[in-house]
Structure 1
Amino acid sequence: MCVGLPMTVISSDGFTALCERRAERRRVSTALVGEVAVGDQLLVFIDNAVRRLDPDEARQIDDALDGLAAAMEGQPFEHLFADLIDREPELPAHLRSVKH
């Protein structure tokens, strides 16, 4: 399974960006998102930036990935899914059925 990771732009040359996540750096293509600026948060999938993220969404993705790792290690993880506590799961709007 492949998972998109939130990464922060360190530098850009207009076609690619050097991005960082937790001390790991990668050069990624920005062809799908266009021009990026230092500090932008990107969702990176197989060394391609697939979309921009706002800082809160990037944090939620990081928390979810940390939560999965903690659960697999038998560690407490509930605090990393705080945005899901006390609410029913919801599909994103684009996946909900359209009523005619």
Structure 2
Amino acid sequence: MQVQSTRPGHAVVSGRGETREVNTALVGEPAPGDWLLVFLDGARECLTPERAAEVNAALDLLAEAMSGQWPGVEADPGFVLPSAMSAQELARLTGG
């Protein structure tokens, strides 16, 4: 998220469709325009603009994968997760 404004120990940041205030105790005092990696309302790391773009691209891909909206990719992954298997299927899978 990109820093919009600051006050001691905090910054107002925006990105990914939201604006919020975060604690900056772990990263020091950022300046407006700086990029921060934010988790649970706390800044965890200062980022270069290039690294911020990489993180945003990865989050975009994750959001697409979670929505099942990847163009040209079937919704069926072609396999079943163990949590959806019967006891017999799990025994077969594990050799039990």
Q: TM-score, normalised by structure 1?
A: 0.65
Rounded to whole Å, the distance in 1 between the matches of 2:43 and 2:9 is: 11
Corresponding residue SS for 2:29: coil
Q: Which runs of 5+ in 1 are unaligned?
A: 1-6, 77-100
Out of 69, 74, 83, the position equivalent to 1:74 is 69
Q: What is the CA-CA distance between 1:35 and the residue it aligns to?
A: 1.0
Query: How far is the alpha carbon of 1:16 from its aligned partner?
Result: 0.4
Distance apart, 1:74 and its partner CA: 3.3
Superposition CA RMSD, Å: 1.6
Is 1:14 aligned to 2:8, yes or no? yes
**Structure 1 residue runs of 4+, over 6 Å off?**
none
Which structure exhibits the higher relative contact order, with contacts defined as CA atoms closer than 8 Å and separated by 6 or more residues? 1
- Count the aligned residue pairs: 71
Question: Could you report, residue by residue, the CA deviation over 1:17-68 in whole angstroms, capped at 9, with x for unpaired residues?
Answer: 0000133111100111111100000001100101100011111111111112
* 1:75 counterpart letter in structure 2: W
Larger Rg computed on CA atoms? 2
